[in-house]
Structure 1
């Protein structure tokens, strides 16, 4: 009986050793290095999600979600809306009315009757839908990041219906800034035909 326990114990040891070796091999084989991206953010335009919605107390709106793929080597993308947790996102050049307060810049172009895209203007002022997108990572450590930014634009017919009408074709030119004030490349959306 003692020999049998020894044999079982030996067999179990071999199985455990084999299992441990297999787990170690799989663990090492599945380890990947972090991707290497430049610290200057890079964008590609993935798509525009389009729908017509009703906004309470405002009415019908054309809702567009600009989906942008980003890569950034140190992960310093986005600005917080939490002034108490990230006061640095509202100070200096990031303060209200300062150069980097908006970290996503969206220029709008409208197709004219000749088929050319010209900057969209309202009463001689170019229309901009720039804003702030939130921090991609809430950690303050440098790490390469890749993912999507989903930036929503709602065009309320009651307020934009004077200069954007059903059948108008728009394009959006977009770039972003990281918290180091590096400017990404500029990307252009596909054509968007308004349906409201």
Structure 2
């Protein structure tokens, strides 16, 4: 009898805890929040020159979880430069940031964040890397970035701005 009572209490607690979990109710439009920016100096394997590898971390939430592309979806998107990770850079000059006009786009693609096709909320941190070879980057170049993502339904997230980062730092 005692074992039956313990089993009943255990079952009751298990049901109680599982019924308390509420699935988050995120908007279908992705939402971003700036998390962090990191810079690491690396050596380019082709030129043997230094380069700054900048990693941008953004926290994301999406109500239906349709973030990211499969390889075949990415191939189709590349034909039209239809990026799902949109990046603009802003260069600091005389204390003022202005949009940087680069010939090479910093935008790109990120893979699917859910492997199944189930519709449902998803959240986490998305990391994206941009590289700046020192031979093509002005010394002590101060940049910040504006980031936006697009889901597979075409919904654009809000735009977030990173903190500033100094590239190609001269060493005395």
- What TM-score comes out, normalization by structure 1 length? 0.78
Listed as ranges, the matches of 1:22-41 within 5 Å are: 22-31=10-19, 32-41=21-30
Q: CA deviation at 1:24?
A: 3.0
2-structure distance, mates of 1:181, 1:35: 22
Q: CA deviation at 1:176?
A: 0.7
Q: CA deviation at 1:22?
A: 2.6
Q: Which has the larger radius of gyration?
A: 1
Q: CA deviation at 1:142?
A: 0.5
Residue of 100, 108, 121 corresponding to 2:89: 108
Aligned pair count reads: 167
Given that residues 108 and 128 in structure 1 are in contact (C-alpha distance below 8 angstroms), is that contact kept between their aligned partners in structure 2? no
Q: Which residue of 2 aligns with 1:64?
A: 54
Q: CA deviation at 1:97?
A: 1.9
Q: State yes or no: 1:188 paired with 2:161.
A: yes
Q: Which residue of 1 aligns with 2:131?
A: 154
SS in 1 for 2:117: coil
Listed as ranges, the matches of 1:1-196 within 5 Å are: 13-31=1-19, 32-58=21-47, 59-81=49-71, 83=72, 88-91=73-76, 94-98=77-81, 101-113=82-94, 115-122=95-102, 128-158=105-135, 160-161=136-137, 164-165=138-139, 167-196=140-169
Q: Which residue of 2 aligns with 1:10?
A: none
Unaligned runs of 5+ in 2: none
RMSD: 1.9
Note the alpha carbon deviations across 1:76-113, whole angstroms, 9 max, x for none.
001122x2xxxx5544xx35125xx2101100000002
- What TM-score comes out, normalization by structure 2 length? 0.88
